[in-house]
Structure 1
């Protein structure tokens, strides 16, 4: 993999209270990158949280929240703490540079800026970030199925829960279990079992296709589908698609007492987060519904309304 190639395009946020400085940096970067800008610290924090830039070019001296305060706020928030920050400032002393680096900046450029230097420093930081993102992705992906792993699910559940709580939007969860999978493994062998899990994971990803949806291997033959900003009716639609996608695989299961092919059971729960409820409640509700679906005959889903 050529890291220089993947670093040539990024989303860059320029933060400076002087439009002239914004225009200079925009001119230097617009041919290679998507460029956003903010002219105060508060706006910068909002854009960073909701548009997730790959890199931030941050002025140190601004009215209101200065660059150091913005940098500290970015580093304190889970959603923005890994975004690299380059201070671009008229400050020039070694003490100023040390203060910026101590605050969490990845680099420091003094004004007036040289366009070629800015482009080179931006490419370097984007390369480092892409490498870091790729390594992190490996730690959050289930090695067998390619879907998210349990750690990734737990992290996303916490983050999406907070986001939905702030927006007072629902969040839904589907817990999925492959029916009588132990019998399948015992009869066909573990290689066939692994292939079945891979195909099932891919089928669930086809059913939950929005960018914010998360399909995760929760453990063994159990999967979780997290649906942020989706109500119960929308989650039911996804559950029906999962049944259809799994059925379309037509993976033979001679030892099943339900169907000659692989099937799944699901529990579908939805909630609008508020201060009195924890994310574990959503998982518990979906898990309880899953076991009720299994007890009711499997190859089906049950919801909060059933």
Structure 2
């Protein structure tokens, strides 16, 4: 249930559909209907199939498609239930769902709209109409993704910005409380960054920020780990399911990744750019809120600075 980090945004919003092959998920308990839609789209798109609602939800959570073509009437889990589940999860809410249905009752159609559908395709399927509607919604999805990235990505470094960080942290906090698993945070600050800027200039400073951001990202090897730029030279990592020892180990990997860049820093404590890291963990038991977790990580970062920088300090150590 974890989000993937978005790619850096393009320079402009294209007017055309995306150049890559879109991924479509066709969900129907009747194989003949799946084969028909596969014939329509397999030449232009990557088409995946699910024959039950549970299969569809599992696929979308693991590898979110660009669009779902969903039958309404299915045994066990109906198309309406599948659509509602997709829309209730932040990881899958943006996936457009087109219902493929023979329903013609206004109340039933209203239920589909209320569940979160973007369109209908009626049975028996008209191939040209189906292509046109799917193409239109793929274009809208592509452009919406770009606008979302522009709003949620730090323009300088390409990593998520504070707005996305706040949403992601709140989501992970709720999930970890619900599932009774730990959540850790790591606050990272580039050591003597003002002195670096003063000595090498702001263009070099911007390049340093970009390279450090990518180094931090490279040190986060678990799928759920997440880094955002939360201040001028400050980055914060959200580390779901990481206990105190695990968070400290991730902090050490971040130190090593930044050191490996070898960025010269003639006015620092060390010959190359370094970072200080403060980590804190909220265990599975109910306790203080997420702001308290960040405050503890900030206090640990202050301790790392006070003790000489270029190191990881865990809350309470």
Same fold (TM over 0.5): yes
CA separation in 2, counterparts of 1:38 and 1:168?
A: 33
The residue correspondences of 1:42-57 to structure 2 (distance < 5 A) are: 44-45=56-57, 47-57=59-69
Gaps of 5+ in 1: none
CA contact (8 A) 2:24 2:69 kept: no
Equivalent position to 1:35, from 45, 48, 51 = 48
CA separation in 2, counterparts of 1:11 and 1:288?
A: 47
Gaps of 5+ in 2: 1-13
Match of 1:237 in 2: 249
Measure how far apart 1:158 and its partner are.
2.1
Match of 1:81 in 2: 93
The residue correspondences of 1:1-306 to structure 2 (distance < 5 A) are: 3-6=16-19, 8-14=21-27, 16-30=28-42, 32-40=45-53, 44-45=56-57, 47-62=59-74, 66-92=78-104, 97=109, 100-101=112-113, 103-256=115-268, 258-304=269-315, 306=317
CA separation in 1, counterparts of 2:24 and 2:225?
A: 22
1:129 to 1:298, Cα distance in 2 relative to 1, 3 A: same
CA RMSD across the alignment: 3.0
CA separation in 1, counterparts of 2:100 and 2:285?
A: 40
Aligned residues: 303
Measure how far apart 1:51 and its partner are.
4.2
Question: What is the TM-score of this pair, normalised by structure 2?
Answer: 0.81
CA separation in 2, counterparts of 1:246 and 1:291?
A: 19
Q: Deviations over 1:250-299 (max 9, x none)?
A: 3333333x223322111122334454443333322221111111111111
Instruction: Provide the secondary structure at the position in 2 that maps to 1:236.
Output: helix
Measure how far apart 1:65 and its partner are.
5.4
Measure how far apart 1:208 and its partner are.
1.9
Measure how far apart 1:302 and its partner are.
0.9
